[in-house]
Structure 1
Amino acid sequence: MRIAVLVALCAAAAGCVSSAADNGASLSQQDPKWSSPECQQARAAASDYAQREKDHPGWGFGVLLGPYSMGMVAAVKEHEHQQRRLLARQMHLQCSSKPLPKELDFDPASYAPKKTHYP
């Protein structure tokens, strides 16, 4: 029971990261990169992801499946957190001439899927 509560709290904390679309709204529209096609594409991708994130079943779906689904819901929330960070990083690189903020200065390869070796 304690593990389920801990997993739920970690997943809730991961879900509190602002969306990439919100990060894009904080960038300066006066920046020369803002009107570039790459920036428009990054903003569209972030907006599409934010809409898809709102449309999925979320925590209510996990509650319906019972306590054993909490791990699955936590994994989904962690994946969403990673995707939001990657989209926010990409948007900043495409839409702003300023250096990356500290929270977006990471190696994107750290979120790449790991190769699994099966016997």
Structure 2
Amino acid sequence: MRRAISTIVVASAAALAACTPQPAQYAQKLSMNDPKWESEDCKEIRLASLNYDDKVGQRMAIGVASGLLLGPFGIPLAIAADANQEEQRQAFAREMHLRCSSLPLPESLVEKPVRAEPRRPGADR
């Protein structure tokens, strides 16, 4: 049973890391013929993408391994750290798309609305 849970955690962490490509890879997917491509904003973020390195592969392997060593409490911590890196990479790709492409944002880069907590009666007193 434990082995099955460990396998599921490792597989889901690997899938999570593969969601958004590294910024330099994402820049290669954008059209060089787009009018925004030669803008100063686009050039600036493309240059920044060359230096972007979140070392997700290394951190994921270390994070999941240490999470497994810490038992059931460590696994969620390791996955949360990987999810945070994914969010940062997605935000960078979103910003790059907005600066370098006239096309609408792909569905994968649209920000998800944050659910507001329900208000309790009398909470605003």
TM-score, with structure 2 as normaliser: 0.68
- With a CA cutoff of 8 Å and minimum separation of 6, indicate the structure with the bigger relative contact order: 1
Amino acid aligned to 2:90? R
Partner of 1:115: none
Kindly tell me: are residues 56 and 41 of structure 1, through their superposed partners in 2, closer, same or farther at Cα, counting changes over 3 Å? farther
Distance in 1 between residues matched to 2:108 and 2:63, nearest whole Å: 30
Please say if 1:73 is aligned against 2:78: yes
Larger radius of gyration: 2
Say how many residue pairs are matched.
108
TM-score by length of 1: 0.71
Q: CA RMSD in A?
A: 2.6
Q: Could you list the runs of 5+ residues in structure 2 that have no partner in the other structure?
A: 115-125
Which ranges in structure 1 are unaligned for 5 or more consecutive residues? 111-119
Identity level (%): 30
Alignment of structure 1 residues 35-114 onto 2, 5 Å: 35-49=38-52, 51-53=53-55, 57-60=59-62, 62-63=64-65, 67-68=69-70, 69-107=74-112, 110=114
User: 2:35 matched to 1:32?
Assistant: yes
Superposed displacement of residue 57, structure 1: 4.5
2:64 and 2:79 in contact (8 A); partners too: no
